[in-house]
Amino acid sequence: MRMLHVFGDSHVSPLHRGKQALNEAMARAGIDADFYVRQAPNWRNVRINQIGKGLRLRAVCTWEQPLNYTINQPDDIYVFSGPLHTAGLWRELAWREFCPWRVSEKFPAHHPVSDAVIEHMAEQHAGKTLEILKEVKDRGYMILVAEPPKPLKKGPAVDAIEPGVVVAVDQVYRRYIGGRLNAMGIPIIPIPDFTHEDGLTPDLYSDARPDDTHHGSTIFGTVMMKQIVQLTMGITLD
C-alpha cells in the first residue's frame, strides 16, 4: 500500500473530501492517504524540532487544537498545502484603492503598487511555510506543494474589490512563491487549466457557501486528488 500524507492549511479539507469520493478507485490502485489540517495563520508560528531523521512541527493555535504534526516516513510521499494560498493578501481592503502597477491603466482611480511590494507581502505570508518545506526537503523526504484554487469568481464581489485587481495580485504572488519553490527544488502540483477562467474559479469548482471566497468544492478536491496521484505515482484514477 503506497501512502500519501496531505497536510497544511484549510485547503486540505476539499482534498480530503475528494479522497473520500475516490476511496474505491484508490483502494483498487493500492493507494491510501491521510490528511492533517490547521488554519493558515497557525503554520506561520510553527516550531520545528528534530526527531532522529524526522521532524516534529508544533504550534499553539488560538481557535483550534494545537498544531502537532510529525514527518518521519521516508518511503512515503508528503504533499503540503499552504504557501500558494493568496486570499490572505488579496482580501486586504487596501486593494479597493491600490492595484498592481501592471494593471494600473485599467484602474485609473487606484494607486499603483510595484511587484516588489507584493512580493515582500508574499514573503511575510509564506516565509515560515517555505522554511518548513526546506527542512523537509533537506532531510531527503519527497515533498510537494498542492496549488489551491484561483480566487473564486464570487470572491471579489464579497469583499468589494475589482476582479481584475484580485487576479493581478494573485498572479504576482503565485509567480513569486512559485519561483521560490522552484529554487528549492520542490515541485508544485498545479491546478488543471479547466478549473479556472480568466484567473478566477467558477462556481462548479468553488465552495458553495456564499461568503467563502477561496476554498474549492468537493468536485475540485476530487480533481486535485486525481492530479496528486497522477503526478506523484503515475497512476490515473478512474
Enter the DSSP assignment of 77.
E
Sign (positive/negative) of CA torsion 181, 184, 187, 193?
positive
17-32 pLDDT, tens per residue? 999 999 999 999 999 9
86 within some domain: yes
Q: Enter the C-alpha cell of residue 227.
A: 492530479
Roughly how many angstroms between the first and final C-alpha of the chain, as a whole number? Answer: 18
Q: Is the pLDDT of residue 1 over 80?
A: no
pLDDT, position 92: 92
pTM (two decimals): 0.95
**For range 79-97, the mean pLDDT:** 95
Q: What proportion of the chain, given as a percentage, has pLDDT over 70? A: 100
**89 part of a folded domain:** yes
| Per-residue confidence (pLDDT) for residue 20, from 0 to 100 | 97
Confidence of residue 53 (pLDDT cuts 50, 70, 90): confident
Task: Quote the mean pLDDT of the chain.
Answer: 95
Q: Which residue has the cell 516565509?
A: 127
Q: What is the pLDDT of residue 62?
A: 81
Q: What is the CATH number of the domain that holds 74?
A: 3.40.50.1110
Whether residue 228 lies inside any domain: the answer is: yes
How much is the pLDDT for 232?
A: 95
Q: For the residues 169-178, what does the mean pLDDT come to?
A: 98
Q: Determine the residue type at 130.
A: L
Q: Tens digits of per-residue pLDDT, 180-215?
A: 999 999 999 999 999 999 999 999 999 999 889 899
Task: Report yes or no on 238 lying in a domain.
Answer: no
pLDDT at 156: 86
Q: Do the domain assignments include residue 153?
A: yes
pLDDT of res. 46: 95
pLDDT in tens, 138-167: 999 999 999 999 999 998 888 899 999 999
**Number of domains forming the structure of the chain:** 1
Strands 54-59 and 67-71: antiparallel
Pairing of strands 31-37, 2-8: parallel
Domain of residue 99 covers 2-233
Region 95-123 average pLDDT: 97
Residue 176 lies in a domain: yes
**Mean pLDDT over residues 111-130, rounded?**
96
Any domain includes 143 = yes
Asked if residue 20 is part of any domain, the answer here is yes
